[in-house]
C-alpha cells in the first residue's frame, strides 16, 4: 500500500494560495460585505419567489470543479448571475410566506464571529467560552420570557441551543422514552404513545419515528374551528383513556403556542394537568410565537408552562438571529444527559469528571456543535429588551392593519382570528360561497396568481377542510408601505378572478364594486359593464387573456410588420433567422383600443396608436431577465399577452410614458396590474383574427 507523501506537489502555473491569509481575508471580506449590503439595499426589486425552473443551475455551471484557483471577483459575479436568480428572497420586505427568517446586522456579525473562530464546542474543555456564554444567554432569555426558575441554570434546569425545533423535540422525546422504559422495561417500547394535535408540526411525527415509537401509536388529536384549532384538554383526555383501555402507555405530549397553519395556541395549563395525571412528558413548542412572549401583553399565551417538562422557541424565526438557533429549556437536564451521553476515552478530562461544568454534547444528538451563542448574545446586547419588544410589536401592528383591510372588503373572510403577526384569510365568490371545493379552488388560483407575479409571496394551509392563504409579517425590512402594496396586489388579483364573462366576451362587474366610481374622474359602469367616456374620450373595460389557451401557449409578437414567435421553452425571441436583442423591451402603449374577442386560442384584436420605448433590461426591468413576458405590436395593432403584465403595467401607469395629457385614473382605473387581465380603452375598428 502507498502512503501520503507531503513532498509531492502538483505542478501549478497559478500562484500558491494561502487559504487563511489575513490581508487577503480583509480584502475579500470587504468585497463580500459590499455585495451583501447592495443585496439588502436592492432586495425588494427582485421577484420574491424564484422564477427559475428545476435543474436551471446545472445547465449554467461547469460539469467539474476548477483545477486552478479562480478570483473572488469572478465568483461573486457568478453568485449574482447564477445564484441570486434561484433564491427565494426570505429577507425581502415583500416576503409574507411560511414563518419569517428574520435577520439583523447584529445577527450577521455574530454569525461572522462564530464562523471566524470556528471552534467545536462539544464539551467545556474544547472551548470554555462557547459553553459558558451559551449558559448565560439561555438564562438571560429565559428571564425575559419569565420562565419558571426550574427551567434555568440558576434553578435546577438549564438551556441549550439546538439547530432547529425538530432537534429539540427529538432530544426531549428520547429523554422521555428512556425515562419511561427504565420504569416499565426496555421491551415495552411498542406500547408507548405520543400525542399532538392535527395542527402540531410534522417534526413531532418524524421525531417519533426516529425514536422508535410504533407509527400506529402516534396520535394527532382532532381540533375544532370553534376552539380556534387549539387542542382541548377534553379531547386529549378522551384519546388517552381510549389508549389506556387498549393496554398502551401514554408517553409524550407536544403542545404548541403558535401553530404553523394558523398560529393556534394550545391551552397549556389544562393540557399539563391532564398529562400530569397520566405521567406524560410535556414539551411546549413555541417555535414561532415564543419570541413574542417577551412582550408583557403576549406573555399570557405561555401561562401554564410551569407544568411542562421542556420549552423551545426558534430565535432564527422572529428574533432577528440568523438560522440556525433553537432555544431549548428543560427542567430535568439529567434526563437529557442520561439519554444522549457518550463518554469515550478520548473525550475524558478533569473538568468533566469534576461535574462542575456542562458538556453540551450530552444535551444534543450530534457530537460537534457550533458557537451559536455568539450571535444571540450580539442580538441581545445590540438591541436590548426594549427595542426587541418594539420590533415585534411593529410586526403585529402591521398584521393587524392588513387584517383590518381584509375585514373592510366583504369579499374576503378571515378564517381564524389573528393572534400574533399572521393573518389567515380566503376569498369568497358571491355565487358559490357555500361550495367548499369551488371556494378552495378559487383561493388556490388566487394564491398562485399572486405568487407568480413576483411582487409578494404568501403560502397556504388547510384547516378543517378550508383552504386559506397565510399572510405572515416578520421580515426585518418590512414597512407599512409593503403591507399596503401586498393588499393592493391581493385585491387586484381577486378582482381579476371575480370578473364574470358574458356571452359576448365582455367581462362585467359583479356586485363588489370592481368597476365602481373612483372619485378621481372615472365614471362608473353602465348596464353592460362598459365605462362611460372619460375626459379624453377613452372608454375603459376589463378583458381577459386566458393563460392556458391564449395563442396556444406561445406569444405572437409583431414588430415592424415582422412576425416574431416567442416559445416559452426557449430563451430569446426568434425573428426569421435572427434574435431580437435582450437589452430592449417594449415599455408603454397609449391611445384608444377595442378589446379582443377571445375564442379557443384565437381572438380579434384592436387598432390603436402605440409608442414603444426601449429600456435597459437590467436597470428598469430587473424582474424580466428571463423575458417571460411580451407586448405584441404591429404598427397600430396591439394584443397584450398573458405574461409579465403586473410589472410592465406599473411602468405604463405613469403619465410621463404617454405623449398626450392624461390623468393617472385614465390609465389604470381599478383594478390595475392584473394577471392575466388588462384594462384597455375602447375605440376603433376590430381586426380579423391573427393567424396562429
Instruction: CATH number of the domain at 403, please.
Output: 3.90.1150.10
Spell 394-404 as b/e; 16+ CB within 10 A means b: ebbebbebbbe
**Domain end (from 442, 474, 497):** 497
- Looking at the structure, do residues 215 and 313 belong to the same domain, yes or no? yes
**Same-domain status, 591 and 657:** yes
Are 271 and 414 part of one and the same domain? no
Asked if 486 and 397 sit in the same domain, the reply is: yes
Q: With 60 as the cut, is the pLDDT of residue 526 above it?
A: no
The CATH number that applies at residue 55 is 1.20.1340.10
pLDDT band of 138, cuts 50, 70, 90: very high
Tens digit of pLDDT for each residue in 215-228?
999 999 999 998 99
- Helices 373-408, 105-117: inter-axial angle, 10-degree rounding: 150
User: Domain count of the chain?
Assistant: 4
**Which residues make Cβ contacts (< 8 Å) with residue 416, sequence separation at least 6?**
225, 228, 229, 262, 263, 264, 424, 463, 468
* Exposure letters 534-559 (e unless 16+ CB within 10 A, then b): beeebbbbbbbbeeeebbeebbbbbb
pLDDT(581) > 70? no
Q: Is residue 98 part of a domain?
A: no
> Same domain, yes or no, for 534 and 637?
yes
Considering the domain boundaries, does residue 119 fall inside one?
A: no
Cell numbers for 92: 425581502
Mean pLDDT throughout 73-79? 95
Whether 465 is in a domain gets the answer yes
Does 357 share its domain with 396? no
C-beta of residue 515 within 8 angstroms of C-beta of residue 542? yes
Per-residue pLDDT at 523 exceeds 80: no
pLDDT at 114 over 70: yes
Classify residue 676: in a domain, yes or no. yes
Query: Rounded mean pLDDT of 25-42?
Result: 95
440 in the same domain as 547 = no
Structural domain contains residue 509: yes
Q: Supply the CATH number for residue 241's domain.
A: 3.40.640.10
Written as one string, the DSSP assignment of 283-304 is EEE-TTGGGGGGSTTTGGGGTT
* pLDDT band, very low/low/confident/very high, at 655 (cuts 50, 70, 90): very low
User: Does 281 reside within a domain?
Assistant: yes
pLDDT attached to residue 6: 54
Average pLDDT over residues 491-517: 56
Same domain, 156 and 77: no
C-alpha to C-alpha distance for 375 and 377, rounded to whole angstroms: 5
Residue 688 pLDDT grade (very low, low, confident, very high; cuts 50, 70, 90): very low
- Note whether 289 and 257 are same-domain residues: yes
Among 11-25, 326-340, 527-541, the minimum mean pLDDT is found in 527-541
> Percent of the chain having pLDDT more than 90?
63
* Residues 511 and 653 occupy one common structural domain: yes
> Last residue of some domain: 479, 497, 515?
497
Q: How confident is the model at residue 363 (pLDDT cuts 50, 70, 90)?
A: very high
Tell me the backbone φ, ψ of residue 353, rounded to 5 degrees: -65, -20
pLDDT confidence of residue 435: 87
pLDDT at residue 408 above 60? yes
Query: In terms of pLDDT, which residue wins out, 501 or 250?
Result: 250
| Long-range Cβ contact pairs of 352-357 (< 8 A, separation 24 or more) | 352/123, 352/124, 352/125, 357/123, 357/124, 357/125, 357/128, 357/131
- Whether residue 428 is found in the same domain as residue 461: yes
Domain boundary residue, one of 475, 497, 519: 497
Q: Which domain holds residue 308?
A: 133-343+352-370
* Residue 321 within a domain: yes
Is the pTM higher than 0.85?
no
52 within a domain of the structure (yes/no): yes
346-362 pLDDT tens trace = 888 888 888 888 989 99
Do 176 and 277 fall within a single domain?
yes
Amino acid at each position: 500500500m502507498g502512503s501520503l507523501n507531503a513532498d509531492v506537489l502538483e505542478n501549478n502555473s497559478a500562484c500558491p494560495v494561502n487559504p487563511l491569509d489575513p490581508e487577503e481575508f480583509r480584502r475579500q471580506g470587504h468585497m463580500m460585505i459590499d455585495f451583501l449590503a447592495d443585496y439588502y439595499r436592492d432586495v425588494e426589486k427582485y421577484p420574491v419567489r424564484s422564477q427559475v425552473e428545476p435543474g436551471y443551475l446545472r445547465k449554467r455551471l461547469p460539469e467539474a470543479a476548477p483545477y486552478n484557483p479562480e478570483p473572488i471577483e469572478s465568483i461573486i459575479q457568478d453568485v449574482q448571475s447564477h445564484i441570486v436568480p434561484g433564491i427565494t428572497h426570505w429577507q425581502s420586505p415583500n416576503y409574507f410566506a411560511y414563518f419569517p427568517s428574520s435577520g439583523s446586522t447584529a445577527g450577521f456579525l455574530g454569525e461572522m464571529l462564530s464562523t471566524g473562530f470556528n471552534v467545536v464546542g462539544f464539551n467545556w474543555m474544547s472551548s470554555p467560552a462557547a459553553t459558558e456564554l451559551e449558559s448565560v444567554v439561555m438564562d438571560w432569555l429565559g428571564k425575559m420570557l419569565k420562565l419558571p426558575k426550574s427551567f434555568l441554570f440558576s434553578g435546577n434546569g438549564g438551556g441549550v441551543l439546538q439547530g432547529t425545533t425538530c432537534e429539540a423535540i427529538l432530544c426531549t422525546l428520547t429523554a422521555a422514552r428512556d425515562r419511561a422504559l427504565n420504569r416499565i422495561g426496555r421491551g415495552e417500547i411498542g406500547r408507548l404513545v405520543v400525542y399532538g394535535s392535527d395542527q402540531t408540526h410534522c417534526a413531532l411525527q418524524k421525531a417519533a419515528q426516529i425514536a422508535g415509537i410504533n407509527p400506529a401509536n402516534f396520535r394527532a388529536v382532532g381540533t375544532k374551528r370553534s376552539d380556534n384549532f387549539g387542542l382541548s384538554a377534553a379531547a386529549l383526555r378522551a384519546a388517552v383513556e381510549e389508549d389506556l383501555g387498549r393496554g398502551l402507555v401514554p408517553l409524550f405530549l407536544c403542545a404548541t403556542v403558535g401553530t404553523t397553519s394558523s398560529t393556534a395556541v394550545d391551552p397549556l395549563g389544562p393540557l399539563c394537568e391532564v398529562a400530569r395525571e397520566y405521567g406524560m412528558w410535556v414539551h411546549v413548542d413555541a417555535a414561532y410565537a415564543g419570541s413574542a412572549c417577551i412582550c408583557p401583553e403576549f406573555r399570557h399565551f405561555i401561562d401554564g408552562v410551569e407544568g411542562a417538562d421542556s420549552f423551545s422557541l426558534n430565535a432564527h424565526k422572529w428574533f432577528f438571529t440568523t438560522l440556525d438557533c433553537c432555544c431549548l429549556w428543560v427542567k430535568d437536564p439529567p434526563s437529557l444527559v442520561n439519554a444522549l451521553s457518550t463518554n469515550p476515552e478520548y473525550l475524558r478530562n478533569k473538568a468533566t469528571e469534576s461535574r462542575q461544568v456542562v458538556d453540551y454534547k450530552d444535551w444534543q444528538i450530534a457530537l460537534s456543535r457550533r458557537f451559536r451563542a455568539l450571535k444571540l448574545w450580539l442580538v441581545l446586547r445590540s438591541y436590548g429588551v426594549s427595542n426587541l419588544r418594539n420590533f415585534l410589536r411593529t410586526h403585529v401592528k402591521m398584521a393587524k392593519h392588513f387584517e383590518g383591510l381584509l375585514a373592510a372588503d366583504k369579499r374576503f373572510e378571515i378564517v381564524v382570528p389573528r393572534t400574533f403577526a399572521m393573518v389567515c384569510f380566503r376569498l369568497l365568490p358571491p355565487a358559490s360561497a357555500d361550495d367548499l371545493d369551488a371556494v378552495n379552488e378559487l383561493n388556490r388560483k388566487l394564491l398562485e396568481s399572486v405568487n407568480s407575479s413576483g411582487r409578494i409571496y404568501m403560502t397556504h394551509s388547510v384547516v378543517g377542510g378550508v383552504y386559506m392563504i397565510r399572510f405572515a409579517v416578520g421580515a426585518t425590512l418590512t414597512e407599512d408601505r409593503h403591507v399596503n402594496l401586498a393588499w393592493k396586489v391581493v385585491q387586484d388579483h381577486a378582482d381579476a378572478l371575480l370578473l364574470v364573462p358574458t356571452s359576448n366576451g365582455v367581462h362585467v362587474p359583479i356586485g363588489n364594486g370592481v368597476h365602481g366610481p373612483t372619485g378621481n374622474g372615472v365614471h362608473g359602469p353602465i348596464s353592460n359593464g362598459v365605462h362611460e367616456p372619460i375626459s379624453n374620450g377613452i372608454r375603459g373595460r376589463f378583458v381577459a387573456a386566458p393563460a392556458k389557451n391564449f395563442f396556444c401557449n406561445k406569444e405572437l409578437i409583431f414588430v415592424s410588420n415582422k412576425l416574431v414567435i416567442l416559445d416559452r421553452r426557449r430563451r430569446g425571441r426568434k425573428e426569421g433567422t435572427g434574435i431580437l436583442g435582450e437589452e430592449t423591451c417594449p415599455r408603454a402603449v397609449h391611445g384608444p383600443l377595442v378589446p379582443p374577442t377571445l375564442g379557443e386560442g384565437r381572438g380579434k384584436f384592436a387598432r390603436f396608436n402605440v409608442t414603444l420605448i426601449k429600456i435597459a433590461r437590467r436597470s428598469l426591468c430587473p424582474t424580466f431577465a428571463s423575458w417571460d413576458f411580451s407586448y405584441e405590436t404591429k404598427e397600430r395593432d396591439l394584443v397584450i399577452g398573458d405574461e409579465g403584465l403586473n410589472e410592465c403595467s406599473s411602468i405604463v401607469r405613469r403619465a410621463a410614458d404617454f405623449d398626450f395629457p392624461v390623468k393617472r385614473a385614465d390609465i389604470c382605473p381599478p383594478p390595475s396590474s392584473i394577471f392575466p387581465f388588462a384594462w384597455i380603452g375602447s375605440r376603433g375598428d376590430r381586426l380579423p383574427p391573427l393567424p396562429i
